[in-house]
Amino acid sequence: MKRRLVLQGLLAAVPAAGALSSLLVAPKQAQALGGTLPDLDQPAPDFVLAGFVPPGTEGERRLSDFAGRWLALYFYPKDFTGGCTLEARGFQKDLAQFHSLGAEVVGISADSAESHASFCGSEGLAFPLLSDPGGLVSRRYGSWISPYSQRHSFLIDPAGVLRASWVAVRPSGHSQEILASLQSLIAAAPSLPSPSPSR
C-alpha cells in the first residue's frame, strides 16, 4: 500500500516536473545587467537622438539615416573615462576598416552634445556620438542603469535588422571583435542588401 502511494505521488509529480522543465527551457528575451536585450534577427529598436557629428556639427541622427549600411552601435557610460576612452580610440583606429565593409560606427551615452564635442575633439574621433540623457534609447537596447548607459554593443544590418549583440564588453580590442563578426556575417549572408557607398 505504501509503495502504491509513493508511485502515485511520483507519477503525479512527473507532469508537474515536465511543465516546470518546459518553463525553464522556454526561450524568453535575453536579460543583461542593463535590462531586456532586443531580440536578434528582428528589427532593431528605433532611435532619434541629438549629438555631435564630426567634423563639427551638432544635430539629430536616427536609425533610418543608416539604412543601406551596416551599423556598429555601441553604448558606453561616460566621456573622458579610462575604459570609454580606450573603447572609442579602438573604434577610431578601425574606422577605415568599418567603412571599407560598408559600416558606420555610432556611440551613445548619457553625456551632453557639448561633452561629446569635447570628447571627439580631444580624441580625434570622426564618428557620431549621440546623447541619451534620460536613457530612453539605452533602455530599448537593454543598456541602462541610471544614470549611465551600460557598455553593450549591437550590429545592425543594412535592412535595419539586429544581427549581433555584446554585453558588458571589455573596451580593449572590442572594435576588433565587432569587425570579425561583421566580416563573418557578410560572408555568410550574401543575400543581404549591398551597402551603399560610405558617407
| Percent composition of the chain: helix, strand, coil (DSSP 3-state, to 5) | 40, 25, 35
pTM above threshold 0.85: no
Over 70: is that where the pLDDT of 13 sits?
A: no
Strands 162-166, 153-156: pairing kind: antiparallel
Query: For the chain, which residues make up each domain, given as ranges?
Result: 36-188
Instruction: Indicate the helix (H) or strand (E) that contains 164.
Output: strand 162-166
Average pLDDT (110-123) is 96
Confidence of residue 199 (pLDDT cuts 50, 70, 90): very low
Q: Is 40 exposed, middle or buried (0-12, 13-18, 19+ CB in 10 A)?
A: middle
What is the fold of 36-188?
Answer: Glutaredoxin (3.40.30)
Query: Pick the residue with more confidence: 25 or 160?
Result: 160
Mean pLDDT of the chain: 85
Q: Give the model's pLDDT for residue 189.
A: 76
Catalytic residue among 44, 71, 72, 84: 84
Strands 57-62, 48-53: pairing kind: antiparallel
Query: Pick the residue with more confidence: 104 or 5?
Result: 104
Please indicate whether residue 120 is annotated as part of the active site: no
**Residue pLDDT, tens place only, 53-72:** 988 788 899 999 999 999 99
Q: Give the model's pLDDT for residue 151.
A: 96
Average pLDDT (137-141) is 96
Q: Give the model's pLDDT for residue 16.
A: 44
